[in-house]
Amino acid sequence: MARIVVDAMGSDNYPTPDVEGAVLAAREYGVEIILVGDEALIKPVLDKQNTIGLKLRIINAPELLTMEDKGEKLVLKARSKDAKNSMAVGIDLVKNGEADAFVSAGNTGAGMVTALFRLGRIRGVDRPALAPIFPTATGTCVVLDIGANPDCKPENLLQFGILGSIYAEKVRGVNNPKVGLISNGEEEGKGNELVKAATPLFKASRLNYYGNVEGKEVIGGKVDVAVTDGFTGNVMLKSSEAVAKLITDRIREIIKNGSIVTKIGGLLVKPALGAIKELLDPAREQGAAPLLGVSGLVFISHGRSDAYAIKNAVRVAKHAVDVKVLDAMKSAIEESLKD
């Protein structure tokens, strides 16, 4: 049975969605859930749930990490051996072998720094990368990095490609994933100096390297893994989220302010619109993005996650545990060091 730690103090509306989602996951996926956070806040929410027959327990972590924890203050909280915040306590459970994976909807930067200091990197990985799943015309695409590393070296991009390829194969079930470098043109030779310098590394690697891809090729499903620096990836992610929200909000507004015929039409297409909303909100459907490159399984959810998103985050974490994706990534990086 997979043992999944859920940061009960992670989401914007903690601890209710975090606890409710964890209970749903324990019931649906048969996992053991370890809730970490302020027990005084968690227990009243948990007591309202039907937990009969479920493996659930609370580990008290009374301190909080907030969006105000930055710079040196965050580093101190992330690396202190006596830290009592939910991220530090939860990640330590993974480090000490008492849990298999950690899920949090908390501060992304805090999650990355805490995981980095407490778990360390996979040997051969210089920097970890956050790798969400983007919806595409043919399925999905793992995009990394989307914010952990604004400035990168060519070697970092190659490591991202290896990690993303293994994740796509093991967790997403893609055979021999196609890997592309995000650029401002499909042709080889296009791109900034980083992309140009990374290209020969990708061509010489064991990856199924597709070549350069523009944003439209990523969304068009030309590759299974798209690699970029954290600055470009974050702009791409935030732009995609904004466009998705604009589309759904505009459709809702048109139906609400339209004629009777428009309103009736809106009711008739409501199921189809629901499917489109799911497609345009991958963060809720996929639940969490993996932090690849640290020596442990860590998944970061969106701060606005509801119980459904938290449940899905646990599902993704459980699957990663079951397919032993961490071992596969370690082996792949070890092999790359021999090249």
Same domain for 142 and 269?
yes
Same domain for 147 and 244?
yes
Give me the phi and psi of 289, to 5 degrees please: -105, 135
Q: What's the alpha-carbon Rg for the chain, to the nearest Å? A: 20
From 247, 267, 285, the end of a domain falls on: 285
Residue 338 lies in a domain: no
Same domain for 281 and 312?
no
Same domain for 146 and 249?
yes
Same domain for 143 and 271?
yes
Same domain for 17 and 42?
yes
CA torsion sign for 40, 297, 124, 151 is negative
Same domain for 135 and 280?
yes
Residue 337 lies in a domain: no
Q: β-strands 101-104, 225-227: how paired?
A: unpaired
Domain that includes residue 24, residue range:
3-125+293-331
Same domain for 206 and 307?
no
d(CA 224, CA 213): 11
Residues 6+ apart with CB under 8 A from 20: 45, 49, 307, 310
Per-residue pLDDT tens digits of the chain, which is 339 residues long? 899 999 999 999 999 999 999 999 999 999 999 999 999 999 999 999 999 999 999 999 988 776 666 666 666 666 677 788 999 999 999 999 999 999 999 888 888 889 998 999 999 999 999 998 888 888 889 999 888 888 899 999 999 999 999 999 999 899 999 999 999 988 888 888 999 999 999 999 999 999 999 988 998 999 999 999 989 988 888 887 787 778 777 877 777 777 776 666 666 666 655 555 555 555 566 778 999 999 999 999 988 889 999 999 999 999 999 999 999 999 989 888 776
CATH code (residue 213):
3.40.718.10
From 285, 308, 323, the end of a domain falls on: 285
pTM of model > 0.85: yes
Residue 203 lies in a domain: yes
